[in-house]
Each structure stands twice: as structure tokens, then as C-alpha cells.
Structure 1
Amino acid sequence: MIGLVLAAGAGRRLRPYTDTLPKALVPVVESPVEEERRTVLDLALANFAEVGIEEAAIVVGYRKEAVYARKDALERRHGVRLTLVENDKAEEWNNAYSLWCARDVLKEGVILANGDTVHPASVERTLLAARERQPGAGGRIILALDTVKKLADEEMKVVADPEKGVRRITKLMDPAEATGEYIGVTLIEPEAAAELADALQATFERDPQLYYEDGYQELVHRGFRVDTEPIGEVSWVEIDNHEDLARGREIACRY
């Protein structure tokens, strides 16, 4: 199993940082010493390394040259071999297409982390532990779910049934109906790769502005079981704007 980070997004609400950088390279641990600075991408790769993952792929698009320029340094810093996968429509289409671009990577089995989510390695450990509890259960997709946080309109909300798995995943839901919030981290077994890639393709062909979570919903509609795993009381944040960035910096200092 390898790591996978979606880092193709522009993050326009984080300007001026993202005038020259993709969102995943915005600093969340600041320091006057270059070697001590950390970005969301650094945190994701450090999490992978902490749970024993030695190889990762990064989907790049907007300002991809900045990731290419740091590739060797990221490998040295985190001890993780990196492959960069290019998204040729990163500034036009949403991330259902971005994840589909990594369809060959999915065949390896991955832990997927969004390139704008600050979270501790305990999330990855929780997903791997859930996998180990049911060895041999091929084809599984397991979403990391925050069942503690009070939800509002912007969150990616999930309704999950203990017997059937995910029933709905969307932002467009009454928060009171949701089991919890998907935090942007997923374990995807290699046996699920082909079906997920097909669902993602159907999703972005229907509407290129859809999210990869809409691809998960497409899988559910097709009868594929998508599971969830609660992460417990964990500090994390999805960084969309400067207020989120301030929160991310506060959280990242604890890891």
C-alpha cells in the first residue's frame, strides 16, 4: 500500500500565497530557517512515513513546477519515494477528474489524503487498523469520519449505516441527518481500483465540476459498499481560506 496526495488545486482563496504555489505548498509551520518550514504536503508525507508507507504519488496541476522543484528535498526529508502524476485540467475541472488521473496508482492500494487537510498520523493508523480487523476483505474503501464535530453547511457530510456502509455523501444535506464529516482521508484497497476509476469517469463526464466524493456516491448507487471508520476526537482542519490556515497552523504545531 502506498500514499496518494491530491495537490493539483489552485486554492485561490489563499492568495497571495497561491499566486505562485499550489495550495498543498502553503506553509503551515513557519520558521526563518528554510529546513524547518512545513507545508500541508510535508505533513501528509510525514504521516505516511510514520505509519510505514515508503512510497507515495502526488497528483499535481496548478503551479506543478513548484512541486517538481521540491521533489528531491521532500524525498530526503520524509524518506518516501515520490512519483508525480499530472492533472492536465487542474484549473478547469474539479477533483473527481484529479483522482481519476491517479487511476493506475489506485491499483497499488492507497491511503489517499487531500492536499489541504491538516491532520495527525493517528487518522492513517485508524484506517490501517480497521483494515486489519477484517483481513481478506478485498475491494474495500474506508473513509475517515469525524463523528464528533458539530456540522454546518460547508462540510462533506456522510450518512452511514452500520450494516450497509455509506448511504449518502454530499455537502448538500441537512447537518442533522449526517452521521459525521468525511475528513479527506481514505483507504482504498487495490481490488476497488477499477470500479472506483469507472465511477469517477462517469462522475466527471456527467459534470466536470463534481467532487471525487460524488464518485464514491456513484459507487454506492451501483451497489458497491463504501465503509467508514470514526477517527475519534482529533484536531484537524481542511484549509480553504486564511481563517482555516490560521487554524491549521495552530494544529500543526502540536504534531
Structure 2
Amino acid sequence: MIGLVLAAGAGSRLRPYTETLPKALVPVAGEGTENELSVLDITLKNFAEIGLEEVGIIVGYRKEVVYERKAALEAKYGLKLTLIENDVAEKWNNAYSLWCGRDAIKHSVILANGDTVHPVSVEKTLLAARGDGKKIILALDTVKDLGEEEMKVVVDPETGVRKITKLMDPAEATGEYIGLTLIEGEAADELADALKATYERDPQLYYEDGYQELVNRGFKVDVAPIGDVKWVEIDNHDDLAKAREIACQY
């Protein structure tokens, strides 16, 4: 198993940071010091802690900065990093971005969004949920109060995920997908095909729309509730402030 990080996004709502950095490299702790940590740092640290040795990072916007930091990140976390390029990251949404990582998924991966600050307990929860024929397992927050922006999920106890979208009445949802998924290698080809169908239908769709495509085709997507965990998806400066409050607690 390897790690896979979606780090191609521009994060326009985080300017001025993202004028020179990809969203995944915005500092969330120790800004301007030798102990500075980005979202990517925290994710790589988590991956190393659960014993992963290789990580694929899908890069696009300001990819040159990730290339510049690659050797230092490898040395710091004891990981081999492979950068996978998405050349249309500034034009298309992340359904295509995850499709770019389709070969990496064949190794079985823990996928992490490059804007999600979370503790290693989430990765451990996903690993503990493996087995019993599960091929794709989504990390699900069933505790948080939901609003309009969240990626909401409806789950059937027997058949797994039935619906995943932001465009849903929060009262209808079982919980929120937090941006981490365990994907077994045997699901790689089917997922790649669903992602391709998704971005060809509309390049502005999310990879979660690819998950919905799989569900619509009869593929079972499972979930793993993460419990009462402090985490945040960073979309704007308010989110960044929350991330900085919790990142130092990990």
C-alpha cells in the first residue's frame, strides 16, 4: 500500500499565500520558522507513522515548488515521493486529477485531499476497516453539524454509499466525507473508468462524482466513521485559522 495526495489545486480563496504556493503547501503551523508545517507535511507525517514507504503526489498549480521541496520532504519523513503531473489543474476539477493517479491506485492507496488537516487516527481507522471484500472505504464524519458546503454522504447499512454530493439537504445526510479514502488495488480499473466518464461528461466535476458514478453502476462503496475528531478542510482564510488552532494538537 502507498499514499496518494491530491495537491494540484490553486486555492484562489487563500491568496496571497497561493499566489506563490499550491494550496497543499500553505503553512498551518510554525509559519516562517524551521518548524513550519504545511497541510502536505501533516499528511506525509501521518503516512509515515502508519508504515507507508511510498507516496504519489498529484501536482499541477505551482508544481515547481513541490519539485523544489521534494528531496527535503523525502528526507524529513523517510518516504519515497513520486510526483504525478496534472497539466490542466487550473482549468479542470479534481475528477481528472485523481484519474491522473490511476496507475498509483493499482498498488492500493490511502488517498488524501491536499487541503484536509487531520490526525493520524483517520488513517488508522481506514486501515482497521479493511477486509470483508471492501474495495473503497470513505472516511466519514458522522458527528459534525452539516451545512451547504460539505461533501455530504447518504449511507445504507446494507448496501453502502447511496449518494455523495454537496448538493443535498444536510438533514438527509448520514455524514460528511472528509477527503480521505482507502482504495484497494482491485478497484483501480473500475474507478479509473468511472472517473474518465465523469470528467468527460463535465471537466468541472469532483472525483466524488466519480464515486457516485461507481455507485450508480452497482459498485459498493463503504464508509468508516472517524468518531469525534478535530479536522478541517481548508477552503478559505477562516478555515486556515481553524487549521492552525488544531494542527499543533497532533
Please give the range of the TM-score, normalised by the shorter of the 2 chains: over 0.9
SS of residue paired to 2:21: coil
- What is the DSSP-based 3-state SS (H/G/I as helix, E as strand, rest coil) of the residue aligned with 2:24? helix
Which residue of 215, 224, 244 maps to 1:220? 215
Partner residue in 2 for 1:64: 63
Offset, 1:33: 2.7
Q: Distance in 2 between matches of 1:4 and 1:29?
A: 22
Q: Look up the match of 1:246.
A: 241
Q: Which residue of 2 aligns with 1:15?
A: 15
- Among 166, 169, 180, which residue is 1:171 paired with? 166
Cα–Cα, structure 1 residues 208 and 32, in superposed 2: closer, same or farther, change >3 Å?
closer
Deviation at 1:168, TM superposition (A): 0.1
2:151 equivalent to 1:156: yes
Deviation at 1:30, TM superposition (A): 1.8
Q: How many angstroms apart in 1 are the aligned matches of 2:113 and 2:78?
A: 20
> Is 1:39 the counterpart of 2:38 in the alignment?
yes
User: What's the offset of the Cα at 1:32?
Assistant: 4.2
The count of residues paired between Structure 1 and Structure 2 equals 250
* Paired position in structure 2 for 1:188: 183
Q: Which amino acid aligns with 1:85?
A: I
Correspondence for 2:124: 125
Output one character per residue of 1:158-180: Cα deviation in whole Å (capped at 9) or x when no partner: 00011000000000000000000
- In 2, the alpha carbon distance for the partners of 1:32 and 1:74 equals 17
Distance in 2 of aligned mates of 1:30 and 1:65: 22
Deviations 1:70-90 (CA, angstroms, capped at 9, x unpaired): 000000111111000000100
- In 1: Cα distance, 2:203 partner to 2:31 partner: 38
Out of 138, 141, 148, which is 1:143 matched to? 138
* Structural RMSD (CA): 0.8
Long gaps (5+) in structure 2: none
**TM-score, normalised via structure 1 length:** 0.97
Q: Please identify, of 23-32 and 237-246, the stretch whose mean Cα deviation from structure 2 is larger.
A: 23-32
Task: Normalising by structure 2, report the TM-score.
Answer: 0.99
SS at match of 1:254: coil
For the residue of structure 1 that corresponds to 2:249, the secondary structure is coil
Q: How does 1:57-136 map to 2 (within 5 A)?
A: 57-132=56-131, 134=132
Other-structure match for 2:3: 3
Unaligned runs of 5+ in 1: none
Corresponding letter in the other structure for 1:61: G
Tell me the SS of whatever aligns to 2:129. helix
Q: Distance in 2 between matches of 1:85 and 1:204?
A: 18
